[in-house]
Amino acid sequence: MELRRVVVTGLGALTPIGNSVGEFWKNLLDGVSGAGPITRFDTSKFKTQIACEVKNFNAENYFDRKEVRKYDRCSHFGIVCADEAFIDSGIDLATTDLDRVGVIWASGIGGLETFASEVTAFALGDGTPRFNPFFIPKMISDITAGHISMKYGFHGPNFATVSACASSANALVDAFNYIRLGKADAFIAGGSEAAITPVGLGGFNAMHALSTRNSDPATASRPYDKDRDGFVMGEGAGALVFEELEHAKARGAKIYAEVIGGGLSADAHHITAPHPEGLGAILSMRTAIADAGISKEDIDHINTHGTSTPAGDIAEPKAIVSLFGDHAYKININSTKSMTGHLLGAAGAIESIATLLAVKNDIIPPTINHFTDDPDIAPLNFTFNTSQKRVVNYALSNTFGFGGHNATVIFTKYKM
């Protein structure tokens, strides 16, 4: 069968460096760090006391008080972000077949704050089960997809993808495939995460995954730097409207970019560590490139997973060199996590937005906080510290997750 073409017609971003797509993109290009001391709870007894929090977000500006209590912060982020993307897309509910529009919304963890508070209250009580009736609906990872579909009346495919930090990239690949196979005309796809909580922070600290550079949070997320010491946790959401090309053209939609390839793979190696040779990453990228019908030499830009962890930042460049050979040194590579921190299950969505905007605008956001080269990392062009202008025809976004999950999405300039 002839596969249908898929384009991006709407974007939404709620991030530690901007509560809209425009603010997010400007701060990416300016190299702004979203990291700072955690403000939402007392961290004095934690090894890590910093994170990339969303700033100036009050749920009561978007929901009535009753709704605020019914939703976890993870859903607050997702619904608000999806609304920006929906409005941006210009989809008219009155003239659209809502049976053909779906939602695929990801979260690596879901309503962690709700889960922790309910269990804590029960544990500290007298054993009487006084649970909030919204406990389960607030907590489950799929509920944001449900809320988004109910808000707009979308009756198409509706589910959540959960593949740890690859979750929202996984959602994008799924939406891409559903549309090109003719099973839907459009999707709101993306993800949200709100894990900056005592249990989230404590859990990742116990794994020795987080930076403890508490005295200098702005430079704590330093992908590919010799002195990196772990990732900085982020929170927020990213949403993209994927739409079948002819459906978008028929309603005169603006088009940001075209989605042309997706790759998924598993390391089958370790519960948290990447394969040391990046074999799963190689497979994911190679599959996406073959899916796109392009050659490796066509890739101009890679937004890497680049978390600022000791092992991960070695494995991914090794995978890039193994797959691309000499062409690897001609690619502009970056890690926007140096600015946003790691949004866990929402990372793939906001990083895909950054990637496709690089394609649209022919400029690569920097990898900030580079001070010292690491001799164990291949000397690629990591776009250190300053944005770089170049023509970007094809760009690739990588996202990897605990459990060995890998997801790759490829964007290109839209051509008639």
Kindly report the number of other CB atoms within 10 A of residue 272's CB atom. 16
- CA distance linking residue 41 with residue 82, whole number of Å: 27
| DSSP characters over 351-411 | HHHHHHHHHHHTEE--B----SB-TTS---B--BSS-EE---SEEEEEEEETTTEEEEEEE
- Angle at alpha carbon of residue 284, lines to 163 and 183, rounded to 5°: 70
Placement of tokens 């974007």 in the chain: 11
Residue 305 is a catalytic residue: yes
Active-site choice (76, 147, 275, 305): 305
266 forms beta bridges with 405
Helices and strands (H and E) in the chain: how many: 13, 14
Residue 52 is a catalytic residue: no
Residue 405 is a catalytic residue: no
- 264: buried, middle or exposed (CB in 10 Å: 19+, 13-18, 0-12)? buried
Residue 169's φ and ψ, nearest 5 degrees, are -65, -40
Q: Are 6 and 181 in contact (CB under 8 A)?
A: no
Active-site choice (147, 275, 301, 342): 342
Sign of CA dihedral 132, 138, 139, 140: positive
Active-site choice (165, 247, 275, 405): 165
List the catalytic residues: 165, 305, 342
